[in-house]
Structure 1
Amino acid sequence: MSGHVTLGRYGSALGTGGTGTVTYTREVGERLRQVRIDRGLSLQDVERRSDGRWKAAVVGSYERGDRNITATRLLELAEFYGVAPGAVLPGEAPLRHADDATGIVIDLERLDALGGQWRALRRYCESIQVQRGDFNRRVLSVRGDDLRALAVIQDLGPDELLEQLRELGVLQEG
């Protein structure tokens, strides 16, 4: 895997009507635009406040759906906007608050032992712990917005991710 993940497969899993990458890319773009506008930012403001890291033309092309965004860049842009990653992911349900509990718990020690293709997921779990100030726990309670972001990192739909984590003995459901 090259490290670049387009979101089309995941979009189909979320129920975009089976139209694939193009529809999903546009839906992600619409969410990105809405988050930016909600923050009171123009495209030029984004470029200026990011010291040029986020070029106005590139962010605009993501928002129009003219350009696919990698999962990594999507997570970084959500962080720049100061929103939970799920806030920039389309879905059938309205956005949930980041505090919404799902009853899903990930055993971080078992996740660590998997290594390989699961390292990026583990790093993201660590970032959630840092964000929550939760450093001494061996498990992570997954909130609603986090589940979709974790699935994107693995290039899976949320249900597929949960199934794989169950099979690997990493998932605990409460």
Structure 2
Amino acid sequence: MPSNAQLIETARRRRFVLRERRQGSSYPDIAEATEEEFGADRLPSGWDERYAYKDVKRALQKVRADLEETAEEVRMMEMQRLDAMLEGLWTDAIAGETDAVHAALKVMKRRANYLGLDEPEELDVTAGTDPETIETLLEALRDYPEARQAVADALDSNE
């Protein structure tokens, strides 16, 4: 098991290689810069560009995990806020006070949205089926091949 000092050194090295990669350095250049920065004797045995690649990959995985954790924390905080709002509105809403009912429904809709409970809205492709509109729509979906195919299929079925 690595010591605390080793863990700290590894974290410093990974921050360094990630910064180098973000600046556009190649892996051979990162390996060389890391050796200059830390000294060959303080690097893992066999340090080279492959090791630099692994360090960059692991550093990016940590960044991704931290972002996911942060997003989940924000989501939970937002859910708690929505719950508190709904709790404050609930008595008036169930008593039939129109403004409170509307406000409660908005809070509930936002909550359902956060939780992914609502079905996606259907796309009405019959509204504008002139060739220019169709071409514009399909071009807008160029980067979304599944959606583009679904629109094309829906258009074919309407003919």
Bin for the TM-score computed over the shorter chain: under 0.3
TM-score, with structure 2 as normaliser:
0.21
TM-score, with structure 1 as normaliser:
0.19
Structure with more helix by fraction: 2
Structure with more strand by fraction: 1
